[in-house]
């Protein structure tokens, strides 16, 4: 099976790919454009793609050869899964492998935003720090505060567990279906979660239904001292509304690992001192990226061998 790997993967994963397939390693720094994706789908039996590769309905049109698109990552909003299904193309992803690492980043951002860690780190690097004072860089306490989690899937539940067991935080959550996580947590409507939380964390997948799920009206419902954290996908949030809410003090701060038009980050957002920004580090640990890669390859191997891939979407 002729396979295209669109981005540089870890050495261990690339070694396994090379052993199993007739593989071409694109190793592009930038994701595939729609036109590049279309050409790849015509030239290869299988694609191993990742965030940003534009496997759109247009890319999937016409006379294409590929029969499977294996996504490196749990989120696959860059792939038109419905169009792929209509063409008889299998799409797979890598759930589970990313759960703990992404939840860890959510807690990192909660703590950094609440305790003003980013601003403090910049202050030390600038050489302006002259020593400890009782009122310097006062932030907010995290332990015992209420966290509201939008989306209680694998990642949302892992975040909730860390907050509840690690920081003694009451947990509110909003989910499209009823769920019992097995520890104290209260399922509430979205508006009640926003109004009742000291920290709001977005952990839903990016779909047409969740596009701009959080906008001006939602930020207006939050408490002025509350912090907003997004570790899901950038376009779930109306970024312009978030910037406005931060500028006007509608909310106290934000921690972001994702952005609406990655890698573009608006200057107005970059200039704000009350926002902590990371370059999409959610799964950026070697062990995690290895696990994701092996899972993506296992999906391809299963398909090649005539079996149902374990993580078809």
d(CA 93, CA 295): 8
Residue 50 pLDDT class (50, 70, 90 cuts): very high
Mean pLDDT on 291-299: 98
Under 8 Å between Cβ of 48 and 26: no
Under 8 Å between Cβ of 9 and 293: yes
How confident is the model at residue 46, as a pLDDT? 98
Token pair for residue 283?
């799964």
229-258 pLDDT, tens digit per residue, is 999 999 999 999 999 999 999 999 999 999
pTM for the whole structure: 0.93
**Counts for the chain of helices (H) and strands (E), in that order:** 12, 12
177-232 pLDDT, tens digit per residue, is 999 999 999 999 999 999 999 999 999 999 999 999 999 999 999 999 999 999 99
Q: At what angle do helices 117-126 and 99-114 cross, to 10 degrees?
A: 70
Domains and CATH numbers, the chain: 2-97+285-304 (3.40.50.720), 99-277 (3.40.50.720)
Under 8 Å between Cβ of 74 and 283: no
- CA Rg, the chain, in Å? 21
Catalytically active residues, by annotation: 233, 262, 280
137-160 pLDDT, tens digit per residue, is 999 999 999 999 999 999 999 999
Residue 117, Cβ density class (10 Å: 0-12 exposed, 13-18 middle, ≥19 buried): middle
How confident is the model at residue 164, as a pLDDT? 98
Half-sphere exposure at residue 265, Cβ-oriented, CA atoms within 13 angstroms: 15
How confident is the model at residue 121, as a pLDDT? 96
Residues 6+ apart with CB under 8 A from 309: 68, 70, 90, 92, 298, 299, 300, 302, 303
78-129 pLDDT, tens digit per residue, is 999 999 999 999 999 999 999 999 999 999 999 999 999 999 999 999 999 9
pLDDT at 29 over 80: no
How confident is the model at residue 35, as a pLDDT? 97
d(CA 256, CA 281): 10
Residue 28 pLDDT class (50, 70, 90 cuts): confident
In terms of DSSP bridges, do strands 90-92 and 171-174 run parallel, antiparallel, or are they unpaired? unpaired
Handedness of CA 207, 311, 18, 304 (dihedral sign): negative
Start-to-end CA span in the chain (Å): 21
d(CA 151, CA 167): 20
Token pair for residue 3?
């396979």
Give percent above pLDDT 90 in the chain.
99
How confident is the model at residue 26, as a pLDDT? 95
Hey, which residues does 68 pair with through a beta bridge?
46, 90
How confident is the model at residue 165, as a pLDDT? 98
Q: Return the DSSP state at 205.
A: P
3-25 pLDDT, tens digit per residue, is 999 999 999 999 999 999 999 99
């Amino acid at each position: 099976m002729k396979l295209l790997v669109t981005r540089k993967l870890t050495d261990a994963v690339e070694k396994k790919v090379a052993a199993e397939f007739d593989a071409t390693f694109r190793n592009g720094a930038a994701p595939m454009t729609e036109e590049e994706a279309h050409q790849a789908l015509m030239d290869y039996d299988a694609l191993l793609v990742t965030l940003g590769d534009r496997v759109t309905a247009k890319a999937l049109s016409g006379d294409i050869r590929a029969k499977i698109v294996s996504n490196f990552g749990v989120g696959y909003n860059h792939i038109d899964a419905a169009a792929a299904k209509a063409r008889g193309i299998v799409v797979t992803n890598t759930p589970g492998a990313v759960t703990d690492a992404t939840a860890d980043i959510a807690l990192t951002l909660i703590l950094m935003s609440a305790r003003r860690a980013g601003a403090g780190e910049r202050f030390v690097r600038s050489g302006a720090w002259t020593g400890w004072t009782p009122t310097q860089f006062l932030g907010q306490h995290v332990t015992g505060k209420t966290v509201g989690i939008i989306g209680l899937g694998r990642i949302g539940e892992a975040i909730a567990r860390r907050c509840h067991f690690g920081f003694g935080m009451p947990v509110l959550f909003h989910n499209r279906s009823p769920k019992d996580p097995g520890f104290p947590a209260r399922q509430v409507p979205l508006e009640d979660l926003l109004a009742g939380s000291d920290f709001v964390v977005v952990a839903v997948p990016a779909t047409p239904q969740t596009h701009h799920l959080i906008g001006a009206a939602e930020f207006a419902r939050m408490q002025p001292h509350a912090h907003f954290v997004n570790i899901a996908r950038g376009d779930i949030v109306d970024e312009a509304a978030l910037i406005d809410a931060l500028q006007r003090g509608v909310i106290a701060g934000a921690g972001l690992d994702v952005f609406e038009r990655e890698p573009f980050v608006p200057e107005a957002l970059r200039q704000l001192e009350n926002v902590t920004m990371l370059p999409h580090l959610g799964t950026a640990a070697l062990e995690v990226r290895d696990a994701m890669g092996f899972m993506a390859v296992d999906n391809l191997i299963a398909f090649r061998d005539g079996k149902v891939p374990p993580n078809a979407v």
